[in-house]
Amino acid sequence: MSASLCVLGSSSRGNATALSFDDSGKFVLVDAGLTPRGVRTALVRASATARFHTLRAIFLTHLDRDHWSPSWTNQLQRSPVPVIVRRAHAEQAILMGVPANCLRPMDGCFSLGTTADVRLIAVPHDEIGSTAFRFDCEHAHIGHATDLGCVNDELLAAFAQLDILSIESNYDEQMQRESSRPAFLKQRIMGGRGHLSNAQAVEAVRVLMRDDSIRHLVLLHLSQQCNRPELARELFCSQLPTIATSLVISRPSQPTPILRVRRSEPAIA
């Protein structure tokens, strides 16, 4: 038995990550910025045992267009599954087309049946913030955080002793400052409520590595204009050399390998 994570795609064009908590083939999505067809295609390309019809729930970090595709509205009307958002995002979710019968506003912690315990953590991003998620199941502890302007103490505490961590590493600061983007956009991104830089992501991971539990690290949402995978990898490997063999960098239009934590390698309680 194992738990697994596969980033199906991650960029300003669309974000979606598939999580499975056992070997049943059932899975949940964190974010639905890829279309339903895009998710189907990515699952096949990843050689995942999960299939689209075994989708159990969708967790939305927030409602920006690259995290929620309106094409899901019709899909969920035909085949409803729960869509979990923080209560602060519930009104916007309805306005953006999440069917009311699917919407599940939550705060704090709850159980996803008997499969996993879930914790929602508010993180700063634009006006009403984004949501990071921690999933605890029999086989693994998994943390997912993207679109956050900074890493606060609450997130660091919530993400202690993770087996799998997926975290935003959006931009290289020098590339951002030297880019042709307007000043207001640079300020929004770098001002503490926008996105996380490579250097900020390194410092967050440095703290979270202290308990020596992280087996897989995935970098999310790299800017195509103000970052490069090789820059992010070089920085992480130079600053945190022990993580080099565990590091995976997500791509805009191709899934990552399926990252597993197996029962034969018990998760730290």
- Which CATH number goes with the domain that contains 149? 3.60.15.10
Rg (CA), the chain: 17
For strand 14-20 and strand 27-30, is the pairing parallel, antiparallel, or unpaired?
antiparallel
Tell whether 245 is covered by a domain.
yes
Q: Tell me if 164 sits within 8 A of 5, measured CB to CB.
A: yes
> How far are the Cα atoms of 7, 49, 71, 176 from residue 105, in angstroms, in the given order?
24, 29, 21, 35
Q: Is 146 exposed, middle or buried (0-12, 13-18, 19+ CB in 10 A)?
A: buried
Residue 16 lies in a domain: yes
pLDDT at position 19 is 97
What's the number of domains the chain is made of?
A: 1
- Residue 105: per-residue pLDDT: 98
Is residue 192, in this structure, part of any structural domain at all?
A: yes
Structure tokens at 153: 């103490």
| Per-residue pLDDT tens over the stretch 164-198 | 999 999 999 999 999 999 999 999 999 999 999 99
Q: How confident is the model at residue 23 (pLDDT cuts 50, 70, 90)?
A: confident
Residue at 227 is within a domain: yes
Q: Is residue 267 part of a domain?
A: no
Q: Could you tell me if residue 265 is inside a domain?
A: no
Amino acid in the structure at residue 108: G
Whether 111 is covered by a domain: the verdict is yes
DSSP letters of 162-173? -SEEEEE--B-H
Q: Which domain holds residue 41?
A: 2-260
Question: What is the per-residue pLDDT across 96-133, written as a single tens digit (0 to 9) for each?
Answer: 999 999 999 999 999 999 899 999 999 999 999 999 99
| CA nearest to 67, candidates 105, 15, 125 | 15
Percentage of the residues of the chain whose pLDDT score is greater than 90: 92
Tell me whether residue 224 is in a domain: yes
Beta strand spans in 129-265 (E): 130-137, 141-145, 164-168, 216-220, 247-249, 259-262
Confidence class for position 50, pLDDT limits 50, 70, 90 = confident
What residue ranges in the chain does DSSP mark as E strands? 2-11, 14-20, 27-30, 55-59, 83-86, 103-106, 109-112, 116-123, 130-137, 141-145, 164-168, 216-220, 247-249, 259-262
